[in-house]
Amino acid sequence: MTMIAVLGNGRVGGSLALALTRAGHEVAVADRSPGSAADAARTAQIVINATPGAGSLERLIALREELQGKILVDVSNATVDGPDGLPADLLYPGSSLAEQLQEALPDTRVVKTLNTMLYTVMTAPAALTQTPTAFLSGKDPEAKQVVRGLLADLSWQQQWITDLGGIETARAAEAAILFVPHVIRSSGFAPFAISITR
């Protein structure tokens, strides 16, 4: 059992919290009330960022002390949204939210994952008709190994997980969000994931 804090109680955070609780972890979910995120992060071993990406950096910098020495799993995408509310551009072109977080929080081990799929796939990868891929980006091998274990608890088979390398590789995974509005307009709001097939 691991103590996990999920920052964000929307569809993404709620789904992850429920699935990880069912897997036997002790999970605290932080909402937007004052002090909630700090309280949850302070006692956790692993913190999951499921807050809206556009405001994630500011929110998490405010938790620098609570995140010190922790693994921060970043599943968010920082985008500039279009008039229809769907992603239209990247907030950090030439970089990524994960890189910005790692630079701002040098004493925290940031791992990017699960941001290249609709939220329902994060906790039910086998529901898709074809094998999905979960990507890992991060500078700390041990932290990535821990996150692999969490993904296994979310029903991800190890052969479905691809380690892209250092935290700088997160910019490639985050850029995949630009597929999303076009896929949704083309096929509707149905579960999907960006996958590497071989």
- Mean pLDDT, range 155-163, rounded to an integer: 97
Q: Look at residue 89 in the predicted model and tell me its pLDDT.
A: 95
Any long-range contacts for 92-97 (C-beta under 8 Å, 24+ apart)? 92/171, 92/174, 94/171, 95/171, 96/167, 96/168, 96/170, 96/171, 96/173, 96/174, 97/53, 97/56, 97/57, 97/170, 97/174
Residues 34-78 pLDDT 10s: 799 999 999 999 999 999 999 999 999 999 999 999 999 999 999
| pLDDT category of residue 162 using cuts at 50, 70 and 90 | very high
Crossing angle for the helix pair 141-153 and 11-22, to the nearest 10 degrees: 80
pTM, to two decimals: 0.96
- Mean pLDDT, range 100-117, rounded to an integer: 98
| pLDDT category of residue 33 using cuts at 50, 70 and 90 | confident
Q: Look at residue 86 in the predicted model and tell me its pLDDT.
A: 87
